[in-house]
Structures are given as C-alpha cells and as structure tokens.
Amino acid sequence: MLFLLIGASSFSALLIFGSRKVWLGDDSLELPPSISEISQDRRLLGHFPYPEADQNMLVVVHPGIRVHLDTARALKKMTAAAVSDGISLSFLSGYRSHNLQKEIFFEVKSERNQTAIQRAKVSAPPGYSEHSTGYAIDLGDSTRPETHFRKEFENTPAFKWLEKNAPRYHFTLSFPEGNPQGVSYEPWHWRYEGSADALREFENARTRSSSIKN
C-alpha cells in the first residue's frame, strides 16, 4: 500500500512504502519537467507498465490464443458481425505473459541485432505490453495472410471494416500512425476498452501519452 500526502503551500510529499518513509522536499521541483513527467507515468521506452491478467479470467479464442473473458465475449460478437458483412477476421496474438514478452524482447529481437530503442518501436519490454492484460488482440484478414503483422494490413477489407465498426464492440487501435507514444504504426493491434477494469488499465495510454513527447 502506498500513501501520498501532499503539502498545500508547496510541493512536498511524504511517501510511505510499508514501514519506510521518504520525505521529498521542494528539491523535487528542480527536476527537469521531462524526467519528472516520465517518473510519474513510469513509461519505459515509450511504453506504459501493465500487470499480468488474472489467469482465471483467460479463455481460449483460437488454438494457442487466450484473452480476457470480457475481450473474448466482445470478439465473438464482433467477428459474427464481420462474417455477416462478408469479412473474415483472424486472431493472431492475444495474452502474453511477462516471461514470453521477455523472450520476445531480449532474445528474438537481439538475434536481429537491434538496440533496445529500435526494439521498443516494434515491441514492448516485458511488463510493458498491452498483451499482458488480456485485453489486447492482434487481428488479421484471413483472406490476406500475407498482410499479417504488416502495415499493408491497412489496405485489407478486414481493416477497413474494423476502422468503421470496431468502436461498436469497444475495440480501439492502440498505435495509430504518428501515435504520441512513439510506437510504430500497428494497424493489427487492437485493445478492448469495454469494461471499467479495461478502461482503468489503459487510462495512462489514453490520457497521458498525448501530453508527453518522445
């Protein structure tokens, strides 16, 4: 539990971490704004921190792909609506544990000889991926598999359908072109924001990222 008491007349705070107390005096005001803002929202290489989903809430939506139950319910409705419009969505990636994200970020990407900053443009560090919440899903067009995980997905009937209809099912494109988090454009990566819990998870990404420049 963390308690934060803020003085009224000047910025000073008493942080209580369990039994440890740390007094932050007026010195904290001298931090450059960028550093103080980053420490407030705890971003790492542009990505916000995310907890792992409750394992009991994860359900299988496709062999090898699990998402949060609420995401699964919304996906079911959305894919049924898509099918009735002649669109066939495929599920490419859902929940990822912090450990799996660690392998992707530190092992797969290092084999490609990418620096951490280059990797962070296309993949989140472990503990910082929306996929760990169970609310993120990577979608594809099953009639155009060559566009899976590619920018060209934006030219498929599935993407055009999603752009028009996904908000009805509470799905939002997390990393549109030129997003303030500085993450590469990912037309395939959508997050579910149709419950109070999901909204809370993405509060920072929604409200804070636009106020900070990378």
Cβ-based nearer residue to Zn ion, 79 or 123: 123
Cβ-based nearer residue to Zn ion, 26 or 177: 177
Q: How many residues does the chain have?
A: 214
Cβ-based nearer residue to Zn ion, 138 or 193: 138
Strands across the sheet containing 89-93: 89-93, 136-141, 189-192, 171-173
Site map (CB under 5 A) of Zn ion, residues 157-176, x = contact? --------------------
138 interacts with Zn ion by CB under 5 A: yes
**Single residue of 43, 96, 189, 191 touching Zn ion by CB under 5 A:** 189
In the complex, minimum distance from the CB of residue 92 to Zn ion, in angstroms, rounded to a whole number: 8
Structure token pair of residue 48: 């916000």
141 interacts with Zn ion by CB under 5 A: no
Subset of 101-130 contacting Zn ion (CB under 5 A): none
Determine contact, residues 161/85, Cβ cutoff 8 Å: yes
In the complex, minimum distance from the CB of residue 124 to Zn ion, in angstroms, rounded to a whole number: 9
In the complex, minimum distance from the CB of residue 139 to Zn ion, in angstroms, rounded to a whole number: 9
Strands across the sheet containing 2-6: 2-6, 13-17, 20-24
Cβ-based nearer residue to Zn ion, 70 or 138: 138
Stretch that binds Zn ion, among 5-13, 27-35, 56-64, 184-192 (CB under 5 A): 184-192
In the complex, minimum distance from the CB of residue 45 to Zn ion, in angstroms, rounded to a whole number: 16
Q: What are phi and psi of 123, to 5 degrees?
A: -155, 145
Residues 6+ positions from 13 with CB-CB distance below 8 Å: 4, 5, 6, 7, 23, 24, 28
Cβ-based nearer residue to Zn ion, 68 or 189: 189
CA 102 and chain centroid, separation: 15
Cβ-based nearer residue to Zn ion, 38 or 150: 150
Whose CA is closest to 5, among 30, 18, 23?
Answer: 23
> What span, in angstroms and rounded, lies between the C-alpha atoms of 207 and 197?
16
In the complex, minimum distance from the CB of residue 26 to Zn ion, in angstroms, rounded to a whole number: 42
Binding site for Zn ion (CB under 5 A): 138, 189
